[in-house]
Amino acid sequence: MHALLDNTWKVLRTAPPTALFGLLVIITILLAGLFAPWLAPYGETQVVGPPSLPVGDDEFFFGTDEIGRDMFSRIIYGARNTVGIAFLTTALAFSLGAVLGLLAAVKGRWVDQVLGRLVDILMAIPPLIFALLILTITGTSIMNMVLVIAVLDSTRVFRITRASAMNIGVMEFVEAARLRGEGLWWIIRHEILPNITAPLAAEFGLRFCFVFLFISALSFLGLGIQPPTADWGSMVRQSSNLLAFGQLNPLVPALCIALLTVSVNFVVDWFLYRTSGLKD
């Protein structure tokens, strides 16, 4: 445990300020989401004051929404809902895309062709339009949204996993494992997967950003996370008309979306630099 803490401290000491800033923001948002019921001064759907109070109000610093709910409390609960659902969707998309990508790279032949053509078809359709169409037909439940976005985003994971695995699959140590009679899944687990972990981990961070923004966009359009559940994208939509009156209420959740996206990208850039072998 002590050695792990020492190594972590050494790594953090060499991190650039942008990566440290990104880590600080990510940890803060994660803690806010985990402890939302204890940190939020009011309930997620509790009406606590007059509607549409501006940012900077004496009692409600972030103002209130169109029906009088505390914006600060809903921002905290939105961290749990928006970020949690985005993480779940990304994990599902990554699991599906990575498994199929590894299978296509190792098996090759007709398996690679069939999976590749299916992915080409899905990637040829604009994802936002496709998601809007499917969610309009199937309904806007959270489960439907997670499944639709996971399937659409898994195509990108499939591509990068397949390309990375094919580069490793032609190496001599993989051929030696095949000649020893090792099975398909043994080769994937022990020979290929450990050598593509770094690019896949970086891709997970980038996929999370895209999924997070995708969910926020769907919520802004009214087909994502539905009221009264607190969600940063829907909070921007619900209070957007206040901009016409010079109020900054919709900018608060919009800034949260932008801040988390930029922070994740800072951390991913630093991780890619560390795993690339580049030195100053």
The pLDDT value recorded for residue 28 is: 92
106 CB neighbour count, 10 Å cutoff: 22
Matching residue, tokens 């690339």: 276
Write out residues in the chain with pLDDT < 50, as ranges: 278-280
Contact between residue 63 and residue 54 where contact means Cβ atoms under 8 Å apart: yes
Give dist(CA 151, CA 153) in Å, integer: 6
Within a domain: 40: no
- Summarised one tens digit per residue, pLDDT across range 202-211 is 888 888 888 8
b/e code 217-239 from CB counts within 10 Å (16+ = b): bbbbeebbbeeebbbbbbbbbbb
Instruction: Tell me the CATH number at 126.
Output: 1.10.3720.10
The pLDDT value recorded for residue 11 is: 67
Within a domain: 185: yes
Total domains in the fold of the chain: 1
Dig out the tokens for 174 from the structure.
């993989």
Give dist(CA 57, CA 117) in Å, integer: 56
Give dist(CA 44, CA 28) in Å, integer: 19
The pLDDT value recorded for residue 262 is: 92
Within a domain: 31: no
Contact between residue 195 and residue 177 where contact means Cβ atoms under 8 Å apart: no
Give dist(CA 257, CA 210) in Å, integer: 11
Could you please report the per-residue DSSP string of 156-168?
HHHHHHHHHHHHH
Dig out the tokens for 229 from the structure.
């559940």
- Summarised one tens digit per residue, pLDDT across range 6-37 is 666 666 677 788 888 999 999 999 999 889 88
Within a domain: 29: no
Give dist(CA 274, CA 280) in Å, integer: 11
Contact between residue 71 and residue 63 where contact means Cβ atoms under 8 Å apart: yes
Which amino acid is located at 64 in the chain? Answer: T
Those residues whose C-beta lies under 8 Å from the C-beta of residue 74, and which sit 6 or more positions away, are 44, 65, 230, 235
Alpha helices in 180-249 (DSSP H): 184-187, 197-221, 232-239
The pLDDT value recorded for residue 92 is: 93
Within a domain: 150: yes
Those residues whose C-beta lies under 8 Å from the C-beta of residue 151, and which sit 6 or more positions away, are 93, 96, 122
Matching residue, tokens 């450990």: 194
Within a domain: 231: yes
Range of the domain at 86: 81-276
The pLDDT value recorded for residue 278 is: 45
Within a domain: 14: no
Within a domain: 55: no
